[in-house]
Structure 1
Amino acid sequence: MNTQQEKTGRPENRWGILVLLALGLMISFVDRTSLSSALADHHFVTEFSLSNIERGWLGSAMFWSYGLLQLPMGWLVDRYGVKWPYAVCFLLWCLAAAATGLMTTFYGLILMRLLIGVAEAVVVPATYRYLANNFDETRKGTALGIYSIGGKMGPALGAPVAAWLISVSSWSMMFIVTGLAGLLWLAPWLRMLRNDFPDRQELAQRRKRAATVPLRNLLISPVVWGGMVNNFCYSYFTFFCMTWMPAYLVEQRGLSLQDSGLYTFFSFVGIAAVAAWAGWMADRLIARGRDAVKVRKSFIVAGFLGGTTVLLGVHADTVQTALFWNIVSLSLLGLVTANNLALVKLTLIPKPAVGLNTGLQQVATSLAGGVSASLSGWLLHLGHGSYTLPMLAIFLFLLLGAASAAFLMRWEWAPKVSEEASAEAGEIESPVAAELHLQQR
């Protein structure tokens, strides 16, 4: 039971808040990926005279500021709670997303994307802090499967909605509408979630807890570095689909902008459905006594290898075959989603370090977004408009992710809790340490 529950005696509706967190993630992805439809719009590209390289930089801008703020946001939510940091940042990114539609210069667009990245940096560290406090190991996969649906439905819904708004109005109105519509989420968030902002005594205790797993212990752990590799490789593919897939379908496969949004929708619905199923199935196997790390690793490796079928799509002779492999490859990557999130951000991580480690992992995720958008633009330039080189890069990164999961995700390589600092803070044994002791008996 957390501190706020102890004060009020009333438990929170944790599953209801989980749905809100999934919706918040969905809105963040709508606001970060609405740009992809604009980048596929001839009027938008012409108005700003964008080259392929400039399109890549514009698509990547949000991820650079997003990555820089991950560690500070992890530190913030570990100490100051989830409710108010998330609410303030949510308001900021929605306003910046809407203001994108008012920009008249390339550098104005870049500035708004950077602001969106700064504010959205709170989303994942805050979510994992809440999940660590409210869900045990046999429910983590299910909870993360539900949560991850938001991340997939964001681009799944955002792409066709943004394309439709552009077709019936303009790229400018699309940004304004999608940005302001998200503000409706704030009312239930402020109403349902208790104020977990700490008083002076609670803040001192949280500082002591955080000190039990210092940053150095995270940085020397192979699990943490393996998790960063996993997150980079997974996110490289998904962010390519968010930033470049509509343009690929329009420019290389000859689809209309609206049809490209529709097929992007199917791809992300596929990964969302598979992610939810895989998280639930892994939880069931773990509840029956299977080793949590081995179960989740198996799903992760299978998902990375399944995603490599994306290369079959780029070499397909027909549009129908290409679209089939685009949908199948991203859907199979869903085997990775919830299980990777659980393994590298919760299962193998001591509870006091969840926020800080999540910030580290999100640095890799945001780096993948920046590299994917800009590197794909550069490879597209080298290939004279062909998407073969960008797809080959995805294939290689997915193989790297499978190898990282197979060899680096081990109980004994998890970050260590400082015993001296833990005793001083009055902490109980970490879940990782408890599991290792059970294995040694």
Structure 2
Amino acid sequence: MLSPPSTGHASLVAPSRKRYFIMVLLFITVVINYLDRSNLSIAAPALTSELDIDPVHVGLIFSAFGWTYAAMQIPGGWLVDRVPPRILYSVALLLWSIATVMLGFAASFIALFVLRMAVGALEAPAYPINNRVVTSWFPERERATAIGFYTSGQFVGLAFLTPVLAWLQHHYGWHMVFVSTGAVGILWAVIWYAVYREPRDFKGVNAAEIELIREGGGLVDLQTQTAQRKAPFSWVDLGIVLSKRKLWGIYLGQFCLNSTLWFFLTWFPTYLVKYRGMDFIKSGMLASLPFLAAFVGVLCSGLFSDWLIRRGASVGFARKLPIISGLLISTAIIGANFVDSTPLVIACLAVAFFGNGLASITWSLVSTLAPARLLGLTGGVFNFIGNLAAITTPIVIGFLATGDSFAPAITYVAVLALLGALSYILLVGKVERIEL
């Protein structure tokens, strides 16, 4: 346990920097999390050809993750308010990784669909846990950078590891895509349990760092408060987080933001292979470029947002500017409908995904707006509504892409990006924590 500071000397002690180590832990966890979400998109062209699955059923398989992931967000958020991140994350990681390994042995549409539903249900608490950890470990002025850094894991992992998974699929079959990513997750579940602790219990954290976090708005004692509160699920609490206009602004905006993301996590490789005529290995390399662009966008977003706050900008302006700008930039995806050359197609997609990355610090607004005692529940509702896109996007694109043209699907993604920007502009007012 952390010792109290010595009287008269605390101000002379430099704060430790263990919170940045926590940021790295979250980054690695997010890399694994998103590899297990997107590995199906890498395996899909070979898998669906081998099992003779048509585009509509491919869309259903892609959407299976989203059905249970969205449905379990509110229960998952409720759990986050009650179960310590060390335990909840370890259990969730272990179970969804086992389900991922089992996907490598699926041999039918039904097996693929059911196992993807299992992965979705078990990953549901992940981002509410991330938000809970960051809110405990980081002051407000550093929070967007922390969120941007760990969120970048969802893009940088895919950017650098998509070619690796494509190579594995080419040389060892699509089965190994699932077995390898699942095995990594099982190992990381053990590491997370062994390493993660709350701020006051983490070895090497001094009193000065605790005070820096607390004075900056970080909820360093959130776990203690949670342990003292064992109230059952309350429909009144759910009603509170569903009744606030500014929360609906970020809920709807997240749905639109995720619609672009889930195009890239599901149909993107198939689009390159089947609708743009690229071979699988080449498409695996090209598919990494938009993810790299998104990675740059995420890093720019967090650093720029926190820089604005340090320069005196309001939290609302500093958070909403990159989000709205990024959603507007994402509409550039529609340019892919009007060009034929491969470099120009990839350029349009890369610009759009850069915008998606730039907008992806939306969790910083959950940290800032949510009532303190309902942080997990608010995050659960936010992720529930946002990840309805994981259901609708794959299915809608599956129907829109049944012909020879993918253009209607691209248009659908672009329109939703525009609607997301309007949601933040028109519905989210002054950014401040909602008091109960």
- Return the TM-score normalized by structure 2: 0.87
Say whether the 8 Å CA contact 1:210–1:352 is kept in structure 2: no
Could you say which residue in structure 2 is the equivalent of 1:433? none
Cα distance per residue 1:19-75 (max 9 Å; x no partner): 11121111011111110012122xx21332201000000011011111111111111
Q: Which has the higher helix share?
A: 1
8 Å Cα contact 2:89/2:189 also seen in 1: no
Superposition map of 1:244-255 within 5 A: 244-255=267-278
Supply the distance in 2 between the matched residues of 1:122 and 1:332 (Cα, whole angstroms): 26
Q: Does the CA contact (< 8 Å) of 1:304 and 1:399 recur in 2? A: yes
2:205 aligned residue: none
**What is the identity, as a one-letter code, of the residue corresponding to 2:27?**
A
1:61 is aligned, of 59, 64, 67, to 64
Q: How many positions carry a matched residue from both structures?
A: 406
After TM superposition, the structure 1 = structure 2 runs for residues 35-434 of structure 1, keeping only pairs within 5 Å, are 35-41=40-46, 44-194=47-197, 205-207=228-230, 214-338=237-361, 340-343=362-365, 345-381=366-402, 384-411=403-430, 416-418=434-436
Q: Which amino acid aligns with 1:355?
A: G
Letter in 2 for 1:273: V
Whole-angstrom CA distance in 2 between matches of 1:193 and 1:315 = 49
Q: Could you tell me how far 1:333 is from its partner in structure 2?
A: 2.3
Assess, with a 3 A threshold, how the Cα gap between structure 1 residues 329 and 203 changes in structure 2: closer, same or farther: closer
Partners of 1:354 and 1:5 in 2: CA distance:
25
Measure how far apart 1:285 and its partner are: 1.0
Instruction: Specify every segment of 5 or more residues in structure 2 that has no aligned partner in the other structure, as ranges.
Output: 7-14, 202-220
Do the aligned residues in 2 keep the contact of 1:84 with 1:195 (CA within 8 Å)?
Answer: no
Please tell me whether the aligned partners of residues 98 and 177 of structure 1 are also in contact (alpha carbons under 8 angstroms): yes
Distance 1:106 1:275 in 2: 35
SS of 1:102's equivalent in the other structure is coil
Instruction: Please report the RMSD computed on the Cα atoms of aligned residues, expressed in angstroms.
Output: 2.6
Of 7, 19, 23, the residue aligned with 1:18 is 23
Give 5+ residue unaligned stretches, structure 1.
419-441
Moved more, 151-160 or 328-337: 151-160
C-alpha separation between the residues in 1 aligned to 2:175 and 2:91?
25
Aligned partners of 1:35 and 1:59 also within 8 Å: yes
Task: Specify whether residues 306 and 202 from structure 1 end up closer, same or farther in structure 2 by C-alpha distance, changes over 3 A only.
Answer: closer
Amino acid of the structure 2 residue aligned with 1:367: L
**Matched-pair identity in %:** 30
- Secondary structure of 2:197's partner? coil
**Which amino acid counterpart does residue 363 of structure 2 have in structure 1?**
L
Distance in structure 2 (CA, Å) of the matches to 1:266 and 1:6: 48
Runs of 4+ in 1 over 3 A off after TM superposition: 4-7, 9-12, 195-198, 200-204, 207-211
SS of the equivalent of 1:409 reads: coil
Contact 2:131–2:363 (CA<8 Å) still a contact in 1?
no
Deviates more, 1:221-230 or 1:327-336: 327-336
Q: Is the 8 A contact 1:78 1:210 kept in 2?
A: no
The residue identity in structure 2 corresponding to 1:327 is A
Q: Per the alignment, do residues 208 and 136 of structure 1 end up closer, same or farther by CA in structure 2, a change over 3 Å counting?
A: farther
Tell me by how many angstroms 1:295 deviates. Answer: 2.2
Report the alpha carbon displacement of residue 409 of structure 1 after superposing the two structures with TM: 1.4
For 1:403, the aligned partner's letter is L
- Give the Cα separation in 2 of the matches to 1:313 and 1:100: 33
Distance in 2 of aligned mates of 1:203 and 1:278: 31
Please tell me whether the aligned partners of residues 33 and 158 of structure 1 are also in contact (alpha carbons under 8 angstroms). no
How far the C-alpha of 1:415 sits from its partner, in A, is 6.9
Q: Aligned equivalents of 2:276 and 2:226: distance in 1?
A: 56
**Shift of the alpha carbon at 1:179?**
1.3
- TM-score, with length taken from structure 1: 0.86
Contact 2:260 2:356 in 1 (8 A): no
Partners of 1:201 and 1:393 lie apart in 2 by 46
Question: 2:37 aligned to 9, 32, 38, which one?
Answer: 32
